[in-house]
């Protein structure tokens, strides 16, 4: 498989039995619903997973998944730098569920908001706080301006610093044992 390949949800569904699926969202997002049989390796742990992903790619095709396809595209590019071929799911789990395909949820897990929703809440709250506080302390409006500038930069570069920060919150973190189990499963 070429490192620049993307699969639509329909194509991925037809090939799901032959793909090794790796979900690069945070553990909380993964718990809210993932493709059947998907392994969770958060994007910020991808480098630690390179040996296991290389082994899995040697056995068959990898499919990288996130909520929209942006993070899985970033993961695909990162793996390509190391000579590991993978495909990205176009439209992510959003496209997958819109077509009515099943998702799995770990038993006893609690769903966490999608990262995009977490970013919207944090950004909106900070802008509102800056504007309200700016009525009393005019310099507080700089908080709103800074967040607005960050959102523009995020759109222009297709990156999100706020998402990187939010991914480090406890509810978005994986337990080391979970990641170790996932990596072991990929190399078996």
Tokens describing residue 84: 């590991």
Task: Kindly indicate the confidence band of residue 3, based on its pLDDT and cuts at 50, 70 and 90.
Answer: very low
- pTM of the predicted model over 0.75: no
- Max alpha carbon distance in the chain (Å)? 62
Mean pLDDT of 159-187: 75
Task: Kindly indicate the confidence band of residue 21, based on its pLDDT and cuts at 50, 70 and 90.
Answer: very high
**Would you give the distance in Å from CA 146 to the centre of its chain?**
25
Contact 122, 143 (CB under 8 A): no
Residue with more model confidence, 87 or 171:
87
DSSP state at residue 104:
B
Q: Domains in the chain, ordered, with CATH?
A: 6-109+174-187 (3.40.250.10), 115-166 (no CATH)
pLDDT digits (tens, 9 = 90+) for 77-101: 999 999 999 999 999 999 999 999 9
- How far is the C-alpha of 173 from the C-alpha of 62, rounded, in Å? 23
- How far is the C-alpha of 145 from the C-alpha of 131, rounded, in Å? 9
pLDDT digits (tens, 9 = 90+) for 144-163: 999 999 888 888 887 778 87
Using alpha carbons only, give the angle 168, 39, 10 rounded to the nearest 5 degrees: 110
- How far is the C-alpha of 11 from the C-alpha of 14, rounded, in Å? 5
């Amino acid at each position: 498989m070429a490192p620049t390949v993307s699969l639509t949800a329909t194509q991925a569904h037809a090939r799901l039995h032959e793909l090794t699926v790796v979900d690069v969202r945070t553990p909380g997002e993964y718990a809210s619903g993932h493709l059947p049989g998907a392994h969770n390796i958060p994007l910020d742990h991808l480098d630690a997973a390179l040996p296991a992903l290389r082994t899995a790619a040697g056995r068959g095709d990898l499919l990288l998944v996130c909520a929209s396809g942006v993070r899985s595209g970033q993961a695909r590019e990162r793996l390509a730098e190391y000579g590991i071929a993978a495909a990205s799911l176009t439209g992510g789990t959003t496209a997958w569920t819109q077509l009515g395909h099943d998702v799995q949820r770990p038993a006893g897990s609690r769903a966490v908001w999608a990262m995009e929703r977490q970013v919207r809440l944090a950004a909106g709250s900070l802008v509102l706080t800056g504007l309200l506080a700016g009525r009393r302390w005019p310099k507080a409006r700089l908080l709103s301006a800074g967040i607005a500038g960050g959102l523009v930069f995020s759109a222009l570069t297709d990156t999100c610093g706020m998402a990187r920060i939010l991914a480090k919150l406890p509810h978005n973190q994986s337990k080391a044992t979970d990641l170790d189990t996932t990596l072991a499963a990929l190399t078996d």
